[in-house]
């Protein structure tokens, strides 16, 4: 009888210990914060370094292993798929006070518009003193969009650059389907109220605001340098400042800037050839983000193949 009671007591004590452990474990798990996991998609373009050097695209090389780091922490890539033939939403923004030289490039701009993938949407707008005039809202009629281009030319430069206007342009993308998005901006890049010093222009709050707005909307910027009356006079410091600003704008939004030295480009054709190459090598990379922060996150995408270069936005905005 005593042995039976002792055994029963031992069982009850053991059961109590197990129950207590289970309770404590459950309570501990309940107190642990749930890990926030988000699925994120970013556009990337993949090239060989030789292709970038020659300015022509050959056969696609083996990118081998591609890695993505968000805030320097490697994330799991879920998929990488080509979007080269999918429609794109594109806004054309031309600075109103450029010199008349830019009018010689209108046929090339029109040709680029008409050769976009079927189903693409295009908007055509002009900017002066920070405001925008929309000549054509987003339309899938590429012929109609190309005809919305008009001549410009001024002997007086407003000196406001395209940056405030780009914020307004980015708002016009709201309501459009998600997918490839880009802005083609033709400008001298100069913000006159920041003086002519490269640092003061490239680090101006106008550019910061434009970059943030474009990054939030996943809009890549392709910037073509063309002079105004102020930059046509040959002030090299002012020209380089404007070009540096356009370069930063394009680089941080996943696009690219183009210029031919410090003069007005003889032709936009080489620029468009490279833009088409970038769009033709564009991929949609989807990954699992384990970061818990909201706001701007830096990203870095690399290939294990040393001959491969991957162009991508420098960061993304997460909620």
Helix axes 106-114, 269-280, angle to 10 degrees: 20
Distances (CA, A) of 165 to 225, 243, 263: 16, 17, 24
Domain boundaries, the chain: 38-83+282-318, 88-280
Q: Is the dihedral of CA 159, 163, 167, 169 positive or negative?
A: positive
CB 40 within 8 A of CB 315: no
Q: Which of 132, 165, 154 is nearest to 232 (CA)?
A: 154
What pLDDT shows up at residue 161?
81
Tokens of 188: 């001298």
Q: Which of 223, 226, 222, 221 is nearest to 260 (CA)?
A: 226
Q: What are the 10-residue block averages of pLDDT along the chain, 319 residues in total?
A: 38 39 42 68 86 66 88 95 93 94 96 96 92 95 98 70 93 91 95 60 85 93 93 81 93 93 92 91 93 89 92 86
What pLDDT shows up at residue 55?
62
What pLDDT shows up at residue 193?
63
pTM of the model: 0.82
What pLDDT shows up at residue 14?
40
What pLDDT shows up at residue 19?
43
Domain 88-280 has CATH 3.40.50.410: yes
Place of tokens 């707008």: 125
What pLDDT shows up at residue 217?
92
How many Cβ atoms from other residues are within 10 Å of residue 33's Cβ?
A: 6
For the chain, how many residues are written? 319
| Torsion (CA) 278, 264, 231, 262 in degrees, nearest 10 | 70
What pLDDT shows up at residue 7?
38
């Amino acid at each position: 009888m005593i042995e039976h009671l002792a055994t029963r007591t031992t069982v009850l004590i053991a059961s109590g210990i197990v129950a207590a452990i289970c309770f404590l474990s459950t309570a501990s798990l309940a107190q642990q914060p749930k890990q926030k996991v988000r699925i994120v998609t970013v556009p990337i373009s993949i090239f060989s370094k030789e292709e970038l050097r020659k300015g022509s695209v050959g056969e696609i090389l083996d990118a081998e292993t591609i890695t993505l780091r968000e805030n320097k922490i490697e994330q799991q890539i879920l998929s990488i798929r080509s979007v080269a033939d999918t429609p794109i939403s594109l806004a054309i923004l031309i600075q109103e006070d450029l010199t008349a030289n830019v009018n010689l490039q209108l046929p090339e701009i029109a040709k680029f518009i008409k050769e976009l993938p079927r189903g693409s949407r295009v908007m055509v707008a002009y900017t002066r003193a920070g405001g925008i005039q929309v000549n054509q809202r987003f339309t899938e009629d590429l012929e109609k969009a190309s005809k919305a281009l008009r001549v410009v030319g001024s002997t007086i430069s407003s000196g406001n650059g395209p940056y405030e206007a780009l914020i307004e342009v980015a708002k016009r993308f709201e309501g459009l389907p998600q997918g490839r998005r880009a802005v083609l901006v033709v400008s001298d890049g100069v913000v006159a109220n920041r003086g002519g010093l490269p640092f003061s222009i490239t680090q101006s709050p106008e550019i910061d605001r434009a970059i943030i707005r474009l990054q939030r909307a996943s809009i890549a910027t392709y910037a073509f340098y063309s002079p105004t009356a102020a930059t046509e006079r040959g002030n090299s410091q002012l020209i380089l400042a404007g070009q540096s600003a356009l370069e930063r704008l394009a680089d941080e939004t996943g696009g690219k800037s183009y210029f031919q030295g410090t003069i007005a480009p003889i032709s936009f054709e080489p620029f468009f050839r490279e833009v088409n190459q970038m769009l033709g090598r564009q991929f949609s990379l989807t990954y699992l983000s384990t970061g818990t922060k909201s706001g701007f996150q830096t990203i870095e995408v690399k290939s294990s193949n040393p001959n491969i270069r991957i162009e991508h936005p420098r960061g993304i905005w997460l909620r």
